[in-house]
């Protein structure tokens, strides 16, 4: 995928893309690359659940079985996807469950400022409650009308289009409400706490005071 040949093709394809669509340093690859740390988990519908926990308004955790998740309303969002390793996927139609649905069904306490989104094998990504609440943020089940493959996060993966894609855990299993920021998996391992692709917030060494908890 990153052979000189496909890079050249990618650069040519990017040439036709309006500048306001491709964040600085990004290119358009062929297809939809698969990128993650560790193995692809096996989906076990009988034991699978999705939890909202931490500082909920009621003090109680909520959890949904796979059939219960199936009852939740679906929405579609057209949006781009930017990976910190520099590929961007433009114009996908993402279908899934809006983060707003979970925020409504299991509201955070008023002092919640951040969330940690958790996935299989302990992968996690932190973001502000405001970023998580974006109307474009979805727990995705389908892209362009096709169900997610296991590689891309089946059965449920978060997409937060305005942040680098590591903020979107594949194989998502829950959301933890936080009253202060805490670093997730990549945010502890050298990636920027905030991850705005338009500001090229790629690495933690670029962080300014107040951008994230001490490393
Ligand atoms: N559970 C999990 N989710 C993850 C990752 C991971 O390592 N584990 N990698 C992230 C990164 S860095 C990117 S770019 C996207 C890639 O998603 P894709 O493989 O569907 O393109 O998944 C994100 N979600
Ligand atoms: Mo990434």
- The CATH number of whichever domain residue 79 belongs to comes to 3.90.420.10
Does some domain include residue 113? yes
Instruction: Sheet with 62-65: list strands edge to edge.
Output: 62-65, 49-54, 172-178, 114-119, 124-128
Does residue 6 fall inside a structural domain? no
* pLDDT band, residue 19 (cuts 50/70/90): confident
pLDDT digits (tens, 9 = 90+) for 103-151: 999 999 999 999 999 999 999 999 999 999 999 999 999 999 999 999 9
Residue of 37, 170, 203 to mutate, ligand 1, most atoms within 8 A of C-beta = 170
Residue 40 lies in a domain: no
pLDDT, residue 14, reads: 57
Is 82 within the bounds of a domain? yes
Tokens 């107040």 map to which residue? 210
CB of 36 shorter than 6 A to ligand 1: yes
pLDDT at 12 over 50: no
Query: Does residue 166 have its Cβ closer than 6 Å to ligand 1?
Result: yes
Is residue 186 domain-resident? yes
- Please state, in angstroms and rounded to a whole number, the distance separating the CA atoms of residues 215 and 203: 12
pLDDT above 70 for 93? yes
In terms of Cα–Cα distance, which of 77, 69, 68, 117 is closest to 95? Answer: 77
Please give the pLDDT value at position 13: 53
Does residue 149 fall inside a structural domain? yes
Q: Is 105 in contact with 62 (CB distance < 8 Å)?
A: yes
Q: Is the pLDDT of residue 20 over 90?
A: no
Helix (H, G, I), strand (E, B) or coil at 178: strand
Q: Which domain holds residue 104?
A: 45-206
Ligand 1 geometric centre to CA of 35 (Å): 5
Question: Does residue 8 have a pLDDT over 90?
Answer: no
Q: How confident is the model at residue 172 (pLDDT cuts 50, 70, 90)?
A: very high
State pLDDT tens for residues 34-60: 999 999 999 999 999 999 999 999 999
Residue whose CA lies nearest to ligand 1 atom number 12: 166
Residues 186, 193: Cα–Cα separation, whole Å? 9
Question: What pLDDT score does 74 carry?
Answer: 98
Q: Where are the beta strands (DSSP E) in 43-171?
A: 49-54, 62-65, 75-82, 88-98, 114-119, 124-128, 138-143, 146-147, 157-159
SS (H, E, C) 154-170: CCCEEECCCCCHHHCCC
pTM of the model: 0.93
Residue 111 inside a domain? The answer is yes
Number of structural domains in the chain: 1
Ligand nearest to the backbone CA of 33: 1
Q: Ligand 1, residues 23, 26, 31, 35: which to mutate, most atoms within 8 A of Cβ?
A: 35
Asked if residue 7 is part of any domain, the answer here is no
Average pLDDT over residues 158-173: 98
Q: How confident is the model at residue 202 (pLDDT cuts 50, 70, 90)?
A: very high
């Amino acid at each position: 995928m990153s052979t000189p040949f496909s890079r050249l093709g990618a650069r040519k394809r990017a040439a036709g893309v309006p500048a306001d669509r491709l964040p600085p340093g990004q290119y358009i690859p062929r297809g939809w690359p698969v990128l993650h740390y560790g193995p692809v988990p096996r989906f076990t519908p009988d034991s699978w659940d999705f939890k909202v926990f931490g500082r909920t308004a009621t003090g109680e955790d909520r959890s949904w079985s796979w059939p219960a998740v199936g009852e939740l309303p679906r929405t579609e969002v057209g949006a781009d996807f930017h990976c910190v390793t520099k590929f961007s996927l433009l114009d996908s139609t993402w279908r899934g469950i809006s983060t707003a649905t979970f925020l409504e069904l299991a509201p955070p306490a008023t002092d919640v400022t951040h969330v940690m989104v958790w996935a299989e094998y302990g992968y996690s990504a932190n973001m502000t409650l405001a970023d998580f609440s974006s109307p474009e943020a979805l727990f995705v089940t389908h892209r362009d009308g096709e169900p997610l493959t296991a590689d891309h996060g089946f059965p449920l993966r978060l997409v937060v289009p305005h942040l680098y894609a590591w903020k979107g855990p594949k194989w998502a299993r829950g959301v933890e409400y936080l009253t202060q920021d805490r670093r997730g998996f990549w945010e502890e391992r050298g990636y920027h706490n905030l991850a705005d692709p338009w500001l090229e917030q790629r690495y933690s060494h670029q962080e300014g005071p107040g951008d994230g908890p001490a490393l």
